[in-house]
Structure 1
Amino acid sequence: MSVILGIDIGGSGIKGAPVDTETGKLVAERYRIPTPEGARPDAVKDVVGELVRHFGHQGPVGVTFPGIVQHGKTLSAANVDQDWIGLDADALFTEATGRDVTLINDADAAGLAEAKFGAGAGVAGVVLTLTFGTGIGSALIHDGVLVPNTELGHLWLKGDREAETWASDRARERDDLNWKQWAKRASTYLQHLELLFSPDLFIIGGGVSKKADKWQPHLKPERTPLVPAALQNEAGIVGAAMMAGQRAQGQDH
């Protein structure tokens, strides 16, 4: 059994658990600490260190980040402090924890976990996971291989607006939409993605995945099957651990 600690940095909470990366199961109860006000790098670094100490974890650690992650650097910061932009966050967390840390975009982590252990397990071809929450995260996976940092929530829709400002769960709450009204917007977005990527499966994750019975009858792509995410809130933790495991294996060879 290969156990790796996965940590998921979110807008309201930072949560972690050790994961058996061969089964995708958590091997201890998830532990959550509220995200520090403003989510500044030093404050978030301290929480990640606290989570590592809480579990007494000795091996590699995977950490998700709500923004673009390239070669260990955080290149965007939509819902966290602007000091993250251009920061070598891999090095920051590795120094804070004394462990080998691998950073991954939060939606990419969720998509990887769903493709291997969740709603996309055994599905060949192109699987597109979308996380609807504060924004819209995306993970594009082809035959189990991730194309990182797709950021498809920032596609332009309806002329002058980004998809996530119009069709996210936050937009549903802001505009006081019922689930059927929201699903009409989200369907427009999915149909646009179909034209661009012709996916074999859509997986719908994020906060809305817990309420699938409310929107699933109304969410209608043109031709692509659609399923709710299976791992829900654990997907980011599992995907982060998977990515750290892959990196550790690569260094072993």
Structure 2
Amino acid sequence: MEAFGVDIGGTGIKGAPVHLEAGSLRADRFEVGTPQSGRPEDVADAVRHVVAHFGWKGPIGVTFPGVVADGVVQSAANMHPAWVGRSAEHLLTQRLERPVALVNDADAAGVAEMTHGAGRRRAQPGVHFTSGPTIMLTLGTGIGSAIFVNDVLVPNTELGHLEVDGHDAEKLASARARQVDGLTWEAWGRRLQRYLTHVEMLFSPGLFILGGGISRQANRFLPLLQGVKTPVVPAELHNDAGIVGAAMIAHQPQ
């Protein structure tokens, strides 16, 4: 069984058909740059271009980097403010001429990881987890979050905007912050550890899953997080998790 997933990010929009039972892409993902304007109509056209690349006619799920409630965007920290209050699900359905399911990007990635990735491997040999929630954090242009309590998603948590040492957390510890501030892995690791220990203090999680494209380089920074008491593992679907999760949600009954 298949569906199509599109992941809208602050710098790129990528998509692919997804094999739902396996949680894997059925073809190499296709990506275009996020329009510089960031406006809803321009981004919707870019999404249509990604879908048209595959000639896709079936179910479509789309992620958005912000709070989404009943298809309406409630926040857009890294996108144009014209998104806020807009029924993006309706806009995309019109542009793509077929039903679209819209979901927060980190929530989609978390759903994919809990079903097909690191979240289903919590009983690892030698690692003992508490009964606390599983927290997925996507480290990219910003920081997205997805919290699962007893494997049930608590949507739209936006932990990337927690205040840490007087700063918005994603301005300190996102993958983009590492690049913008020219940080070494060690310096960025200290920031990431400070952020994780803050989240740890607030939520007492049983497991952290770190995703985003940077998760492919987990060996560069996971050993630096010795001050984090909670087990920390890299996402297994890496930067494809949002696409897979969006496709999964598109297939669910609306």
| TM-score of the superposed pair, with normalisation by structure 1 | 0.91
Given that residues 116 and 144 in structure 1 are in contact (C-alpha distance below 8 angstroms), is that contact kept between their aligned partners in structure 2? no
- Matched with 2:53 is 54
Amino acid aligned to 1:129: M
**Contact 2:107/2:156 (<8 A) preserved:** yes
Residue of structure 1 equivalent to 2:108: 109
- Pairs within 5 Å for 1:186-197: 186-197=192-203
- Deviation string, structure 1 residues 179-220 (Cα, Å, up to 9, x no partner): 112111111111111122121110111232122111111013
Following superposition, the deviation at residue 26 of structure 1 comes to: 1.1
Match of 1:6 in 2: 5
Q: Gaps spanning 5+ residues in structure 1: where?
A: none
**Percent identity (aligned):** 53
SS at match of 1:149: coil
Gaps of 5+ in 2: 124-130
Give the letter aligned to residue 114 of structure 1: E
> Could you tell me which residue of structure 2 aligns to residue 223 of structure 1?
229
- Structure 1 residues 17 and 162, CA gap change in structure 2 (3 angstroms): same
The superposition leaves residues 42-72 of structure 1 with CA deviations (integer Å, 9 ceiling, x where unpaired) of 1111122222222222222100111111110
SS in 2 for 1:131: strand
- Relative to structure 1, is the Cα distance of residues 122 and 229 closer, same or farther in structure 2, using a 3 angstrom cutoff? closer
SS at 1:77's partner residue?
A: coil
TM-score normalised to the size of structure 2? Answer: 0.91
- 1:67 matched residue in structure 2: 66
Q: What is the total number of aligned residue pairs between the two structures?
A: 246
**1:155, distance to aligned residue in structure 2 (A):** 0.9
1:152 pairs with 2:163: no
CA distance in 1: counterparts of 2:28 and 2:169, whole angstroms: 35
Give me the CA root mean square deviation: 1.6
- 2:127 alignment partner in structure 1: none
Q: Give the match's secondary structure for 1:39.
A: coil
Q: Tell me if structure 2 keeps the 8 A contact 1:112–1:144.
A: no
Q: Does structure 2 retain, via aligned residues, the 8 Å contact 1:105–1:149?
A: yes
CA distance in 2, matches of 1:105, 1:84: 13
User: How far does residue 171 in structure 1 lie from its aligned partner after superposition?
Assistant: 2.3
SS at match of 2:119: coil
| 4+ residue runs over 4 A deviation | none
> Does 2:127 align with 1:89?
no
